[in-house]
Amino acid sequence: MHKAFFYQMTHIGLITFLIAVIAGRLLMRLNISAVPMSRSSHQIPTPSAGGLSFMLAFVAGIGLYFFADPDKLYFLAPFLKAFAIAAFLLGSVSFWDDCYPVSYRARLFAHLLAACVLVIAGLNLDFPAFSHLNNTWFAEIITLVTLIGLINGANFLDGLNGLLAGSVVLNLIFMIFIATPMSGVAVLAMILIFALLGFLVFNFPFGKIFMGDVGSTFLGLALGFLALLLQNQDLSPSDTALVNKTFVLSLMPMAFLWFDVGFTLVRRAVLGRRLTEAHRDHLFHLLYDAGHSHGFVSSIYFLTVIFMGCLTLSCHYGFTSFVELVIVYGIVQAGFCWWVFKYTQRVSV
């Protein structure tokens, strides 16, 4: 069974990878370019909307797997339909934004619509310590806010070559270890990994094409979708957790990046700057502006994802408690922030 699953996923994965590579090559020929602006980390117009390559490859991979083993994804079919609708709504507005400027309010409305589709499909956060709140309007609102936060957070993180796509690949690998072996969620994560690797052929480290808003927002939605599916697979939920622990752990590998988003928004709010305005205030921007390459800075964050992923698995399998995980993360995150500010200040002098 394991051997058959391995060969099946290898073949489908390779086809998915090739589809992403071919689609990426074709998209590079289209006249959709990201023109350098104040927030940009590139100096010349570069092909954009490359996220369509891994989106199309992901859809194709799912279709191939349905054909090869329909039973594996059968029970996820209603949720996959909802995700397809949400991704289409979100992707349509985001792709248009990659071609022509779209107001932030219009984009935010699209984010809300996409999140609403998943919530209506029955994907809501669980609150084990307050089980009476599950499947209520409160749970739906918190889920909406969380999904919108992930979509926007992923969009903010798409600032350096390979940073978001590579981090998501690593996060998905740890998701697979959290998921039930050979489950539908694990299959979806594997297919998305192969699709993203096909995109990274052109994006990392030299940035021949960017994923654009259509790709970054899709990845935020996909992470939230998979995390909610994993929550439903939780075989031993904690009765004392405020939020389902499996959901939190599935997103924990990218904790340093999520912190970067939140920390930067707080800093900008304190400094009286507009939160919706394009900027270069993220910690990864500071490291890049200090003279390091895209590949170097992105690789530093890849190491943080691996570090947090290992801590996450340690907590998931019971070797450490969630409190210990948070303490270790907090100490290392504080040290990382201190190092970034001290290092960049010293270099700028």
CA distances from 198 to 24, 96, 148, 278, 331 (A): 8, 23, 27, 28, 36
List all residues 6 or more positions away from 79 whose beta carbon is below 8 Å from its beta carbon.
118, 121, 122, 123, 225, 229
> What is the enclosing helix (H) or strand (E) of 342?
helix 322-348
* DSSP character string of 8-25: HHHHHHHHHHHHHHHHHH
Give me 224's structure tokens: 């939230």
- Cis bond upstream, residue 101 (ω within 30): no
Determine whether the annotation assigns residue 155 to a binding site. yes
Q: Please state, in angstroms and rounded to a whole number, the distance separating the CA atoms of residues 12 and 296.
A: 32
Q: Any known ligand binding at 232?
A: no
By C-alpha distance, which of 56, 61, 83 is closest to 72? Answer: 61
DSSP string, 83-127: HHHHHHHHHHHHHHHHHS---HHHHHHHHHHHHHHHHHTT-----
Amino acid symbol at 45 = P
Q: What's the token pair of residue 107?
A: 């984009």
Q: From CA 226, how far away is CA 185, in angstroms rounded?
A: 7
**R_g of the chain computed on alpha carbons:** 20
Residue 46 DSSP symbol: E
Cα distance between residue 16 and residue 60, in whole Å: 7
Distance (Å, rounded) from C-alpha 346 to C-alpha 338? 12
Task: Report the distance separating Cα 328 and Cα 215, nearest Å.
Answer: 32
Annotated binding-site residues for Mg(2+) read 155, 213
Annotated binding-site residues read 155, 213
